[in-house]
Amino acid sequence: MQTQAEIKLNPLRCYLSPEAKKRLKWMYLVKYECANNISQAANRLGISRVWLSQIHSRWQKHREDPRSLEPESKAPHDTSNRKRIDEKVENKIVEIRKKYQPWGKDKLSVILKRDYQLMAGASTVNRYLVKHNLIDPKLSEKNKLAWQRKKEKANLKFKMRPPAVIKDYKPGALLEKDMKLVLKMGIFTNMNKHRAKENFWYQHTLIDSFTRVRAVGLAEDSNSQTAVAVQEQAVSRLPFAIAAINNDNGGENEKDFSVYLEKEKVAQFFSRAGTPTDNPRVERSHLTDELEFYAQGNLHKNFNDQAKAISEWEHTYNFVRPHQALGYLTPMEFYRLWQKNPEEAHRIKNKYSAYLKKQSRRLAKSRQMKNKEQIENLMKFIDKKLSKSNS
């Protein structure tokens, strides 16, 4: 029922907490299985009719927005009547601080417990240091400004993977970016150095995680300035705005490229080092390039000819080639479907995602050794082999 509730009542895949998902399930029961009969639904769920009615009313008041089901914060509005620490502890904090000026809240908290058997957490100690003006205002302000600058600088740059919830959220929510080496004419120009720059051109690829719409650009180098130029051209060809990009840790994704994304207000996420599975859709598209484009004789001597061929291949990929994960629609057909009917687009995506996961599990299981006799013989072989080497 939970899956049906999300498909019907959360077609845009808004992020919901576990509690909100549970309440979304209740709303599905009320609307589709109990014909909006609150009493009947409350009896089936085993909860108060008044409580369910309040949640249902708020949900309808917000036009069935699933985010309205999020529980309100339980934090108190007023803490003035909260129990405070004993005056003896407060005085001891002041005394220790004056004796050991450089020591911070964590050390003072430990000393209170170790030497005086008095309990006060680090945050409590810090609160009373502020109260008695025992924190150096210059140092405090310096730390505050440093943290603020760091937060502002890294506001849209995250040295981590993007949250899974945005991958299939909507077009432009997350694009995966990667660079592919294109061997000129399929042969090495410099036979002495297989990784030499003169052997390669550089294919910069952007692919939308949701619709699979791609933008591809060819460059003669791989620095961050080139990445910016390719990005600007790619953006002009995409039919939607970009909110976030996930890339690897290559040098072309730092410096000028990061500055450009910050200027354009685009969030930048980074995959784990040496983990191509963190960018699976762009990596899979590169395999498609290799099998369906380059291996079919689409390698040229001239850079301009190669760039033109890649541009034509981009059009084929977006407008002609059916995509299994999109219900055999082309990326642009799927994008136009999402514009007209987002719920249907998500239904297709969920259906084929489930199918592909099932196939993946089936293939993984088929590679496992399951025969009991085979496993026993293998264990005997291992024991015999290791006993010989240890003797």
Q: Would you kindly state where each structural domain of the chain is located, as residue ranges?
A: 2-69, 87-142, 158-292
Q: For residue 116, which amino acid is it?
A: Y
**CB hemisphere CA count around 104 (13 angstroms):** 5
Domain 158-292, CATH among 1.20.1530.20, 3.30.420.10, 2.30.30.110, 3.40.50.300: 3.30.420.10
Output the pLDDT for position 246: 94
Average pLDDT, the chain: 86
| CB neighbours of residue 243 within 10 Å | 17
pLDDT of 238 higher than 90: yes
SS3 187: coil
> Which range among 10-14, 108-112, 206-210 shows the weakest confidence by mean pLDDT?
10-14
Between strands 175-183 and 200-208, the pairing is antiparallel
pLDDT of 2 higher than 60: no
Tokens matching residue 155: 């506001």
Q: Compare 193 and 317 and report the one with higher pLDDT.
A: 317
pLDDT of 332 higher than 90: yes
Report how far residue 60's alpha carbon sits from residue 52's, in angstroms, rounded to the nearest whole number: 12
Q: Which has the closest alpha carbon to 272: 159, 386, 193, 180?
A: 159
Q: Are 337 and 347 in contact (CB under 8 A)?
A: no
| 389 pLDDT tier (thresholds 50, 70, 90) | low
DSSP 186: G
Helix (H) or strand (E) holding 214: strand 214-219
Q: Which has the closest alpha carbon to 273: 301, 303, 253, 300?
A: 253
pLDDT of 192 higher than 60: no
Output the pLDDT for position 27: 94
DSSP percent split of the chain into helix, strand, coil, nearest 5:
60, 10, 30
280 — phi, psi (to 5°)? -65, -35
Tokens matching residue 302: 């001239």
SS3 31: helix
Question: Using a CB cutoff of 8 Å and minimum separation of 24, what contacts does 191-197 make?
Answer: 197/221
Report how far residue 267's alpha carbon sits from residue 278's, in angstroms, rounded to the nearest whole number: 16
The mean pLDDT value for 134-155 works out to 66
Q: Are 121 and 89 in contact (CB under 8 A)?
A: no
pTM of the model: 0.61
Query: Considering the chain, what percentage of its residues have pLDDT values greater than 70?
Result: 91
pLDDT of 155 higher than 80: no
Report how far residue 125's alpha carbon sits from residue 145's, in angstroms, rounded to the nearest whole number: 22
The sign one gets for the Cα dihedral 153, 155, 156, 159 is positive
Output the pLDDT for position 185: 74
